[in-house]
Chains A and B, each alone.
Chain A
Amino acid sequence: MSVRLGLMALLAEGDSYGARLRSDFEERTGGTWPLNVGQVYTTIERLVRDGLVEQAGEADAEGRISYRLTAAGRAELDAWWTTPVDRTSTPRDELTIKLALAVTAPGVDVAAVVQGQRTATLRHLRDLTRLKRDALDRAEGSGEGVRDGADGGGGEHGLAWLLVLEHLVFAAEAEVRWLDHVESALARHARRTPAGSRRAGHDSAGEVPAHREGTHA
């Protein structure tokens, strides 16, 4: 997604000016995507140039210029809502690349990389959960069910923030699961090829002791 489409989505709700677009954008994305004002104005200029946005009247008493979506802008925005986000491009996630390289890099303890990352991701997950709990408590304190999307203290914006948070929670959870998968794949690999065990885990002997194969828990 681009800032461009985000600003167009906000303008579809009503005319607005640069500084307000910026604060609305940040509020709606829970501050996870901070913008600077220059970025907002540059984007608006390009949208105007491309005929997707136009000035809505003269500047107000404080010199602020409001903008509105054009018909072409609305059509492009509608197309965005109905087009799935492209997920086919190759991931360029740092952790993925790091682990892919660590598996073959000499002298790197992959298991330690995995464990260190899992601890960090679990902490991040805990912090996100605290934020989420605060959001839920605030919504309940205001007497509005945040998940109902009712307007009020929690309200629709509270719901938007909660959904952004939950996305981060699910992404962190997926990362923990993947790291766990990496760890067992490494252990399995080490069992098959004892020479590879050097990198494959806490088990420097390369063999899995009998007690590690128990199925109880």
Chain B
Amino acid sequence: MTAPHVVISDVTRVHGEAETRVVALDHVSLDIHAGELVAVMGPSGSGKSTLLNVAGGLDRPTSGTVSIGGEEIGGLAPRDLARLRRRRMGFVFQDYNLIPSLTAAENVALPLELDGVRARQARRQARRTLDLMDLMALSDRYPDQMSGGQQQRVAIARALVGSRRFVLADEPTGALDSHTGEDVLRVLRERCDDGVAGLLVTHEARHAAWADRVVFLRDGRVVDSTGGADVAEDLLTGGSAR
């Protein structure tokens, strides 16, 4: 088996000090292979979003390491980390976060342009990604001309345009009705089937079920995982989902 694309190793994240000290993540380990979609579930305050932020380099662990595509991100300077985020991963949020004054194709091209790719080439790559995801019909539409589900699919295209192979989705179906939410998950699932590594945070088991593996967090620790037998053994020895 090839090395995992994402390796979260023994990560602890502590917020505050003394009386206000809160352990958001408590020795969490998690691997995500290319082509694998992992869902994180758990009640409010269990550390789901902190895990997503740490995995995406938006937050730094207090201890432990995170590697993306073989590169340990803890030691990177802020500028290098920002570049790695732009080039190697994409985020999908509950509220889509498309820029209202740009068309779907322009929104998808934006991360490439921010990374210095010429506008024309960026637009061409954006259209290729939209085409791959059967979204070409939307390419010239502005966000207010699209439904919520369409906007979210465009947001997934934006998260994966160019060479980015790691998508992090925080409650991407939260604002959508049941069927539309499911359509969005199918798109995410298909991208993962094509080799992308995915990390999905959701509080709905029905949505988590689209993942290959579900990791259940409580109080910052992994308490359950639907992985193989080796995972059950890890659980017994103290909170690892690897």
Binding site for B on A (CB under 8 A): 115, 118-119, 121-123, 125-126, 128-129, 133, 136, 147, 169-170, 172-173, 176-177, 180, 183-184, 202, 210-217
Interface of B is mostly: mixed
> Which of chain A's residues has its CB closest to B232's CB?
A119
Checking B23, B50, B189, B209 against A217 with a beta-carbon cut-off of 8 angstroms, the contacting residue is B50
User: How far does the alpha carbon of A211 sit from the alpha carbon of B50 in the complex, in Å?
Assistant: 14
Give the distance in Å from the alpha carbon of A123 to the alpha carbon of B23 in the complex. Answer: 29
Q: Is residue B120 contacting chain A, with contact meaning CB distance below 8 A? A: no
Instruction: State whether A217 touches B210 (Cβ < 8 A).
Output: no
- Given A169-B206, A214-B15, check contact A126 B226 (CB 8 Å): yes
Q: Contact at B23–A118, with CB atoms within 8 Å?
A: no
The answer to whether B206 touches A119, judged by C-beta atoms less than 8 angstroms apart, is no
From A115, A125, A216, contact of B209 by CB (8 A):
A125
Q: Given A173-B205, A173-B206, are A122 and B48 neighbors across the interface (CB < 8 Å)?
A: no
CB-CB < 8 A to A121: which residues of B?
A: 205
Cα–Cα, bound, A120→B219 (Å): 21
Contact B43 A180 (CB under 8 A): yes
Docked Cα-Cα span, A180 to B206, in Å, equals: 14
Decide: A122 and B214 in contact? CB cutoff 8 A. yes
What residues of A have a CB within 8 angstroms of the CB of B44 in the complex? 215, 217
Count B interface residues, CB 8 Å: 39
B12 to A: closest C-beta gap in Å: 10
Contact between chains at A215 and B224 (CB < 8 Å): no
* B184 → A minimal CB distance (Å): 13
Query: What are 15 of the A-B contact pairs (CB < 8 Å)?
Result: A115-B223, A115-B235, A118-B224, A121-B205, A122-B205, A122-B224, A125-B208, A125-B209, A126-B212, A129-B209, A172-B209, A177-B205, A202-B223, A212-B219, A214-B15
- Taking A119-B232, A169-B209 as known contacts, 19 extra A-B pairs with beta carbons closer than 8 A to each other, sorted by chain A number, are A119-B226, A122-B208, A125-B206, A126-B226, A129-B206, A129-B209, A147-B179, A170-B206, A173-B206, A183-B218, A210-B21, A211-B21, A211-B26, A211-B220, A216-B15, A216-B49, A217-B24, A217-B45, A217-B47
CB <8 Å contact, B205 and A172: yes
A-B contact count (CB 8 A): 89
Chain A residues contacting B223 (CB-CB under 8 Å) are: 115, 202
CA distance A210 to B210 in the complex (A): 34
Minimal beta-carbon separation of A48 from chain B (angstroms): 43
Give every chain A residue within 8 A of B22 (Cβ-Cβ). Answer: 210-211, 213-214, 216
Closest to A215 in B: B45
Contact call A216/B205, Cβ cutoff below 8 A: no
Which chain B residues border A115 with CB–CB below 8 Å? Answer: 223-224, 235
CB distance from A201 to the nearest CB of B (A): 9
Bound complex: CA of A69 vs CA of B49, how far in Å?
A: 58
Give CA–CA (A177, B186) in the complex, Å.
23
B96 at the binding interface (Cβ < 8 Å): no
Q: Annotate B28-57 by CB proximity to A: 1 below 8 A, 0 otherwise.
A: 000000000000001111111110000000
* A119-B26 Cα distance, complex, nearest whole Å: 21
